[in-house]
Structure 1
Amino acid sequence: MSDPNEQLPETEVLQDRTDRPVVRVGGTVHRPAQPWTPAIHALLDHLAAVDFPYSPRVFDVLPATGTAPATEVVSYIPGESGPAGWANVVDEKGLRAAARLLRDYHQAVAEWSPATPPVWSGGRTGTGGPGELVCHNDFGPWNIVWNDVTPVGLLDWEYAGPGPVMQDVAYALEYVAPFRDDEMCVRWLRYPGRPDRRRRLEIFATEYGLTDTTGLADEVIAIQRAGLDFVRQLAEEGHERQVEMVASGYLTEIANRIRWSEDHRHLFD
């Protein structure tokens, strides 16, 4: 019989989405397991084994019960994340730290070659060919856990999968350079004024370890185009989240971002 005086773990809804609710329970995070969860857990277990300190640790997968789906349980990383991340990466110290975090992740996963090829979201398998590794594929300020301008964690690994190294770099640069117009930078992304985009791109590239920034703007535009195609594909396949995004006009928003990037490539080269 349970003790009526026993204190239950504190709970907090971290993400209230019907297709992917995320709840903190004490020092753990619970979310519905997906077909690719074994691949993500294999990746996180590898990162734990090589002492990469920024990734959640895998605790368990709870079986489905009644109408409740199977649930993955990983460690909770305290700190600021989500919208708070934008202000932290505006600071050049935060920008440099984010670049080093991505570099450190790539170094930690570069030699990973599990005996059983992981199966990722979208049906991709393995860990990549020459010049590729398992990218995070959603490396933005909102998915970094921050202590002031110092990263202490990296979240949301659900889109991880094999790809060229520059795929993660270009994805990050879209958001941290950023490839957005001045009004959005000031109004929504916490910049005090017009950002020096070329300088920010160069800082991130240098801290990551690149010796040449030639072609990076084109890499970012290619990632933006791929993102548009990916959202459209998932919507056509009936994924709830992407269906809602397309219905709300998200594809037009992405197309406008691509057009802005193409018209303002000179700000980055």
Structure 2
Amino acid sequence: MDAHRPRAVAAPGEGRLRLCAEAAGDGEVVCHGDFGPWNVVWHDDRPVGIIDWDFARPAPRLHDVAYALEYVAPFRDDAECLRWLRYPAPPDRRARVEDFRSACGLDSTVGLVDAVIARQQDNADLVRRLAEQGVEPQATWAADGLLSELGNRIDWSKSHRHLVE
């Protein structure tokens, strides 16, 4: 298939295809766009599939790596790690970033924190744009205060980068 043609991406279970309007550029792959544990199908403790490809598009590999790393490290305050993410104790984020780097085959952690912060900002911007267009569930999320929460996460990541670098 010609690398400069748009790709059709299957939306599993919905019986439709979505056209990725952007052509893949140099160094790009088709990224999931919302690659978090909630979109992984698990069998016991092993991932066996990935679902929900609504935001799939060509992008640098680091796009999905940074998005996943936000949740794997995680880039959250200790209270949220304990309450929402159900950690039994505050995580050793630096060790988790290093393990993630190694598992992904990355040579270095240099630039990963900046990539995560940029991805957090991209996500907040996307939610804002979709909410302004009246797209659901983003419009409801914005009305319920998610944009403020996302801003707080970005601020936390910027001021606590020492915990992960």
Tell me whether the two structures share a fold, i.e. TM-score over 0.5.
yes
Corresponding residue number in structure 2 for 1:257: 153
Structure 1 position 72 matched with structure 2 position 41? no
CA deviation map 1:50-85 (0-9, x unaligned):
xxxxxx6x7xxxxxxxxxxxx518xxxxxxxxxxxx
Q: Which amino acid aligns with 1:125?
A: E
Amino acid paired to 2:103: E
Tell me how many residue pairs correspond in the alignment: 158
Aligned to 1:210: 106
5 Å-filtered alignment, 1:87-236, equals 119-120=19-20, 124-126=21-23, 128-236=24-132
**Aligned-partner Cα distance in 1 for 2:54–2:128:** 18
Task: Select 1:239's aligned residue among 115, 135, 158.
Answer: 135
Separation (CA, whole Å) in 1 of partners of 2:151 and 2:138: 16
Deviation at 1:252, TM superposition (A): 0.3
What corresponds to 1:102 in structure 2? none
Q: What is the alpha-carbon distance in structure 1 between the residues aligned to residue 40 and residue 100 of structure 2?
A: 15
Q: Kindly, what percent of the aligned residue pairs are identical? A: 54
Moved over 4 A (4+): none
Opposite residue 217 of structure 1, the aligned amino acid is V
Tell me how large the CA RMSD over aligned residues is. Answer: 1.8
1:240 Cα offset (Å): 2.6
Unpaired stretches in structure 2, ≥5 consecutive residues = 1-6
Question: Partner of 2:4 in structure 1?
Answer: none
Structure 1 SS opposite 2:15: strand
Tell me, in whole angstroms, the C-alpha distance in 1 between the residues paired with 2:140 and 2:86. Answer: 27
* Secondary structure, aligned partner of 1:119: strand
